[in-house]
Amino acid sequence: MVDFQGLYSKKVLEHVRHPRNLGEIKNPDGMATVGNRICGDVMRLYIKVEKKNGKEYIKEAKFQTLGCGAALATSSIITTMVKGKALDEAGKITDKAVAEALGGLPPVKFHCSVLAADALKKAIEDYRKKK
Amino acid sequence: MKRVYLDNAATTAVDPQVFQAMKPFFSKKYGNASEPHFWGQEARKAIDKARDQAASFLGCKSGEIVFTSCATESINLAHKGLLEALLQEFSNSKSQFSKKLHVITSSVEHKAVLESCRHLEKSGMAEVSYLPVDKFGMVKVADVEKAITPETILVSMMYVNNEVGTVEPIKEIGKLIKKINVSRITSRLSPIFFHTDATQAVQYLDCNVDKLGVDLLSLTGHKIYAPKGIGFLYQKKGTPLIRQQDGGDQEYRLRAGTENVPYIVALGQAIEKCSNVQNSKCSKKIEKLRDKLITNVLKIPGTKLTGHPTQRAPHIASFVIEGTEGEAILLHLSDKGIAASSGSACTSGLLQPSHVLTAMGIPAQWSHGSLRFSLGKDNTKQDIEYVAEILPVIIKKLRKMAPKGV
């Protein structure tokens, strides 16, 4: 089908059809739920953190999202971007980087990448608070 | 893959017979209808025939049909053209209107109506009241009556709501306006003119203009198996209008520009076919399929029908589905070859939920998962069965992806 290709990149559609790291982490080290009050989308991000040589790494990241194609794809791809990354570095991932990793987003959907980057930052904050 | 088109309220296919009828007017009968020679008169005759077909459908005179490019253009011409004409008339006659003219419409109209009303407000031509609707999207006749002031000169109400299919009480509003206009004669007030956007009604409901009591009626071809880019405005004789497109004398000097002959021919053919569809086997078939679709969708837990349960057009089945988002549903349906539509915030360029669902009091978290199927004459029982099989799987999948307890 060629539908929705006028709106979304191949990469976005690929993540919508086959989301990565979908689901819940039981007893996560960090978790955050963020919502966009305007459009109504909600994302929840879970992280598991491990320490190697005194440095903190994201061992596992999972997501659950109620939202449109862009919301699903941004939350899916951000879990792949952070897995195995040092916590400090992961926290620096920007909304722009998320959109770029998906081969771009339509302007009206930029806020979805903001939401995903926000969810990640808040999940890391949550981990640090709990520590 | 099986493909099922259930977005006929967005646009329909061009009917093969309609297409056949318009074809000669591209390369064989290509004359300009304003010219006196054979080619021109051939085109003129074809336009006249289409005008007769349209007039016979509405039960009006041929001279009351103004061909335009679409319903949006017709609506703009009706609203702006009427207001301009009345303002000119009143300024010449130093009439009783010391206050600003007043227009009444509803909060669930199509954007063409809402935006052209905003133009009337912004340009200072009129004040506009946007009437509320009940939970089914229906305007109350009593609310129209209450809203009427001595300055009211136009009521503009849609016949069938395009998002939820609710049939508005046009005949009743028409009667009310007629009654008020009789009393206005003695008090020397201008009559109230009544416009209806009949775009979604043409195919299935009685559009006799006398029965409806309307002075102006807008419609478009591409929802009734004619091509996109052609529509018309019915203008009851004596309804003042100033044209919005200046130029030549076409369309009784109400819409300048060389007539789009093939498309006008197509619309004539398509509208003639509509009179055969209303109350016919075809209409009953569509209604039955729609009911089957509604029954099946409502079997999915957390779904609600939107729009009126009984007073609804035969072709529209609209829902809100809890814990899902409309665009994501459309994407997955599309992957399975099914075309539908949604009023969710994510599908709108403005990221706002549908103004229709909001006006009906549906909370944002419900309209987030709005879904509209609109049927057409070519849909089959197998199409509906296919949707009934696919949709629950998609909903289940999307709900499983969503965070719990939000």
- ipTM of the complex as predicted: 0.93
Measured between beta carbons, the chain B residues lying within 8 angstroms of A113 are none
**Residue A54 at interface with chain B, using a CB cutoff of 8 Å:** no
CATH class of the domain whose range is B16-277: alpha beta
* Nearest residue of chain A to residue B398 (CA atoms): A66
Going edge to edge, which strands form the sheet with B370-374? B303-306, B316-321, B370-374
Q: How close does chain B come to A91, measured CA to CA in Å?
A: 22
Strand partners, B152: B102
Please indicate whether, in this complex, the C-beta atoms of B325 and A111 are within 8 angstroms of each other: no
- Paired tokens of B374: 């609109």
Give me the sign of the Cα torsion angle B398, B401, B405, B406. negative
Please indicate whether, in this complex, the C-beta atoms of B324 and A66 are within 8 angstroms of each other: yes
Catalytic residue among A7, A16, A22, A39: A39
At B281, the pLDDT band (50, 70, 90 cuts) reads confident
Question: Which of B331, B339, B368 is closest, CB to CB, to A16?
Answer: B331
**B323/A67 Cα distance (integer angstroms):** 9
Per cent of chain B over pLDDT 90 is 90
Q: Give A83-122 pLDDT, tens digit per residue.
A: 999 999 999 999 999 999 999 999 889 888 999 999 999 9
Q: How close does chain B come to A24, measured CA to CA in Å?
A: 8
Q: Give B119-162 pLDDT, tens digit per residue.
A: 999 999 999 999 999 999 999 999 999 999 999 999 999 999 99
Q: How close does chain A come to B63, measured CA to CA in Å?
A: 43
In a mutational test of the A interface, the residue from B347, B401, B404, B406 whose CB has the highest number of chain A CBs within 10 Å is B401
- Paired tokens of B168: 């508005």
Please indicate whether, in this complex, the C-beta atoms of B345 and A40 are within 8 angstroms of each other: yes
Question: Please, are residues A56 and A85 in contact by the beta-carbon 8 Å criterion?
Answer: no
**B165/B305 Cα distance (integer angstroms):** 11
**Residue A42 at interface with chain B, using a CB cutoff of 8 Å:** yes
Please indicate whether, in this complex, the C-beta atoms of A42 and B345 are within 8 angstroms of each other: no
Question: Which of A64, A70, A72 is closest, CB to CB, to B403?
Answer: A64
Q: Give B168-226 pLDDT, tens digit per residue.
A: 999 999 999 999 999 998 888 899 999 999 999 999 999 999 999 999 999 999 999 99
The answer to whether residue A112 is catalytic is: yes
Question: What distances in angstroms separate CA B13 from CA B7, B66, B114, B270, one per listed residue?
Answer: 10, 24, 27, 11
Please indicate whether, in this complex, the C-beta atoms of A72 and B365 are within 8 angstroms of each other: no
Report the run of H or E that residue B274 belongs to, with start and end.
Answer: helix B261-277
Q: Which of B300, B322, B301, B316 is nearest to B391 (CA)?
A: B300
Write the secondary structure of chain B as one string of H (helix), E (strand) and C (coil). CCCEECECCCCCCCCHHHHHHHCHHHHCCCCCCCCCCHHHHHHHHHHHHHHHHHHHHHCCCHHHEEEECCHHHHHHHHHHHHHHHHHHHHHHHCCCCCCCEEEEEECCCCHHHHHHHHHHHHCCCEEEEEECCCCCCCCCHHHHHHHCCCCEEEEEEECECCCCCEECCHHHHHHHHHHHHHHHHHCCCCCCEEEEECCCCCCCCCCCHHHHCCCEEEEECCCCCCCCCCEEEEECCCCCCCCCCCCCCHHHHCCCCCCCHHHHHHHHHHHHHHHHHCCCHHHHHHHHHHHHHHHHHHCCCCEEEECCCCCECCCEEEEEECCCCHHHHHHHHHHCCEECECCCHHHCCCCCCCHHHHHCCCCHHHHCCEEEEECCCCCCHHHHHHHHHHHHHHHHHHHHHCCCCC
- From the options 3.40.50.1970, 3.50.50.60, 3.90.1010.10, 3.40.50.720, give the CATH code of A10-130: 3.90.1010.10
* Confidence (pLDDT) at B97: 64
Measured between beta carbons, the chain A residues lying within 8 angstroms of B339 are 3
- Paired tokens of A89: 């570095």
Tally of CB atoms within 10 A around A51: 10
At B99, the pLDDT band (50, 70, 90 cuts) reads confident
Question: Please, are residues A116 and A100 in contact by the beta-carbon 8 Å criterion?
Answer: no
Please list the alpha-helical segments (H only) found in A3-60.
10-17
**Residue B142 at interface with chain A, using a CB cutoff of 8 Å:** no
Q: What is residue B235's three-state secondary structure?
A: strand
CATH class of the domain whose range is B279-401: alpha beta
* Nearest residue of chain A to residue B3 (CA atoms): A1
Give the HSE-up count for residue B363: Cα atoms under 13 Å, Cβ half-sphere: 5
- Paired tokens of B316: 């529209």
Question: Which of B337, B345, B403 is closest, CB to CB, to A33?
Answer: B403
Q: How close does chain B come to A116, measured CA to CA in Å?
A: 14
Instruction: Report B:319-338 residues touching A (Cβ under 8 A).
Output: 323-328, 331, 334-335, 337
Domain limits, CATH 3.40.640.10, in chain B: 16-277
Above 60 in pLDDT, residue B81? yes
Tally of CB atoms within 10 A around B27: 8
Q: What is the CA radius of gyration of chain A?
A: 14
Taking 3-state DSSP, the helix, strand and coil percentages for chain B, each rounded to the nearest 5, stand at 45, 15, 40
Please indicate whether, in this complex, the C-beta atoms of A1 and B337 are within 8 angstroms of each other: yes
**Residue A1 at interface with chain B, using a CB cutoff of 8 Å:** yes
* Confidence (pLDDT) at B96: 56
* Nearest residue of chain A to residue B334 (CA atoms): A3
Q: Give A25-75 pLDDT, tens digit per residue.
A: 999 999 999 998 778 899 999 999 999 999 999 999 999 999 999 999 999
**Residue A104 at interface with chain B, using a CB cutoff of 8 Å:** no
* Confidence (pLDDT) at A1: 42
Q: Is the pTM of this model over 0.90?
A: yes
Please indicate whether, in this complex, the C-beta atoms of A38 and B334 are within 8 angstroms of each other: no
Instruction: Report B:95-114 residues touching A (Cβ under 8 A).
Output: none
Please indicate whether, in this complex, the C-beta atoms of B346 and A67 are within 8 angstroms of each other: yes
DSSP structure string for B8-20: TTT--PPPHHHHH
* Confidence (pLDDT) at A2: 43
Q: How close does chain A come to B293, measured CA to CA in Å?
A: 23
Going edge to edge, which strands form the sheet with B101-106? B65-68, B231-235, B216-220, B193-197, B152-158, B101-106, B126-131
In a mutational test of the B interface, the residue from A66, A74, A113 whose CB has the highest number of chain B CBs within 10 Å is A66
**B348/B341 Cα distance (integer angstroms):** 11
Q: Give B13-65 pLDDT, tens digit per residue.
A: 999 999 999 999 999 999 999 999 999 999 999 999 999 999 999 999 999 99
Instruction: Report B:361-390 residues touching A (Cβ under 8 A).
Output: 364-365, 368
A vs B, Cβ pairs < 8 A, gives 80
Measured between beta carbons, the chain A residues lying within 8 angstroms of B371 are none
- Paired tokens of A61: 């990241």
